[in-house]
């Protein structure tokens, strides 16, 4: 019987969401992350707690079978791994930034300039693609202070809120890569391990889908049921049940989170009452 070895970040921005993703897939783990490897208590899997930068190498070498990490690291490291799923958390972008007072008029600004970054490969590729020749200065942390201390003219770093750039007197001028957490795998898994991975991917998809939908229950006068059903798509079509009180029905359906407030406003205007909105844990279509 095979065991699927899953690499996750030991501690950092990805850790909590990676572990809750596994929990949502009903892959239970013993509490505490003091060990490097922890076997799941209810699924043929073992979790390896690693630095995110090491995950692609471990997956390529087959020490881990799959891994969860930022697309930015996968793209920078260029190991032979397969991206199986975009996971939607830890979203950020890899961007070029320059001091706020620079009148930036396009990527050619960087011609003959120095750029500090922890992402030399992605930065180089982007500059090359745009016909720009710049000197890359690789540093592993605190990239954003480089222009202020005279180390570089600009930087290429991860941005999420933009707060760090702002507090260092920098402005974002070009996005090189949009990133989020992804699930990667070794492209040469044995059939047994591939079957386990397929199981995990199916569960991940069910959880991710569920996050985008809400279950909605409401009461409506019978004469409005048709109108309301028309605006509530549901999985097949909404469920309509008679209420104990004559002339009223209960309607149950599934609504996309993006459409949610629009739908609620319409429902209220059609006389819906007692609207309940419930999160969905899994969605299997
Ligand atoms: O120890 P280990 O090597 O495992 O962790 P790490 O320190 O290398 O990584 P960590 O935990 O900081 O980040 C892990 C992953 O989270 C990254 O590879 C990205 O995929 C993702 N992520 C999402 C981010 C950010 N958002 C982010 N904002 N990683 C880093 N940042 C940093 C950025 O480098 C900059 O210093 O946050 C600052 C900018 O944030 P804002 O909000 O001020 O714009
Ligand atoms: Zn790292």
For the chain, the structural domain boundaries read: 4-89+180-210, 92-179, 213-279
The pLDDT tens digits for 34-65 are 789 999 999 999 999 999 999 999 999 999 99
Q: Determine the atom of ligand 1 nearest the C-alpha atom of 51.
A: 4
Cα gap 280→259, rounded to integer Å: 16
Topology of domain 213-279, per CATH?
A: Alpha-Beta Plaits (3.30.70)
141 lines ligand 1 (CB under 6 A): no
Please give the CATH superfamily to which domain 4-89+180-210 belongs: Periplasmic binding protein-like II (3.40.190.10)
77 lines ligand 1 (CB under 6 A): no
Q: CATH number of the domain at 92-179, out of 3.50.50.60, 3.40.50.300, 3.40.470.10, 3.40.190.10?
A: 3.40.190.10
What pLDDT is recorded for position 33? Answer: 64
Distance 51 CA to ligand 2 centre (A): 6
The pLDDT tens digits for 200-252 are 999 999 999 998 899 999 999 999 999 999 888 777 789 999 999 999 999 99
- Ligand nearest to the backbone CA of 165: 1
53 lines ligand 1 (CB under 6 A): yes
The pTM of the whole model exceeds 0.85: yes
The pLDDT tens digits for 102-133 are 999 999 999 999 999 999 999 999 999 999 99
Percent residues over pLDDT 70 in the chain: 100
The mean predicted confidence, pLDDT, of the chain is 95
Distances (CA, A) of 170 to 72, 99, 100, 160: 21, 4, 5, 14
Residue nearest ligand 1's atom 19 by CA: 70
Helix (H, G, I), strand (E, B) or coil at 214: strand
Ranges of H-type helices in 26-78:
55-61, 71-77
Edge-to-edge, what's the strand order for the sheet holding 181-185?
37-39, 45-50, 4-9, 66-70, 181-185, 82-86
Spatial neighbors of 10 by CB under 8 A, at least 6 apart, are 33, 49, 50, 51
């Amino acid at each position: 019987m095979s065991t699927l070895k899953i690499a996750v970040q030991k501690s950092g921005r990805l850790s909590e969401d990676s572990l809750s993703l596994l929990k949502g897939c009903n892959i239970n783990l013993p509490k505490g992350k003091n060990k490097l490897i922890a076997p799941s208590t209810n699924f043929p899997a073992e979790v390896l707690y690693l630095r995110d930068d090491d995950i692609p190498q471990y997956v390529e070498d087959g020490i881990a079978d799959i891994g969860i990490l930022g697309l930015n690291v996968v793209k920078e490291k260029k190991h032979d791994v397969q991206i199986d799923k975009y996971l939607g958390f830890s979203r950020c972008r890899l961007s070029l930034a320059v001091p706020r007072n620079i009148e930036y008029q396009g990527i050619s600004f960087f011609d003959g300039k120095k750029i500090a970054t922890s992402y030399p490969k992605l930065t180089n590729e982007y500059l090359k693609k745009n016909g720009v020749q710049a000197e890359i200065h690789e540093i592993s942390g605190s990239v954003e202070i480089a222009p202020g201390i005279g180390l570089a003219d600009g930087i290429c770093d991860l941005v999420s809120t933009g707060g760090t750039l702002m507090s260092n007197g920098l402005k974002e001028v070009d996005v090189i890569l949009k990133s989020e957490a992804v699930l990667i795998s070794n492209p040469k898994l044995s059939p047994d391990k591939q079957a386990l991975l397929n199981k995990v991917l199916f569960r991940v998809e069910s959880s991710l889908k569920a996050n985008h939908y809400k279950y909605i229950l409401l009461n409506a006068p019978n004469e409005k049921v048709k109108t309301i059903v028309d605006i509530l798509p549901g999985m097949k079509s909404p469920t309509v049940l008679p209420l104990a009180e004559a002339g009223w029905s209960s309607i149950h359906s599934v609504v996309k989170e993006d459409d949610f407030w629009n739908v609620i406003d319409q429902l209220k205007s059609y006389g819906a009452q007692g609207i309940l909105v419930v999160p969905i844990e899994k969605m299997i279509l």
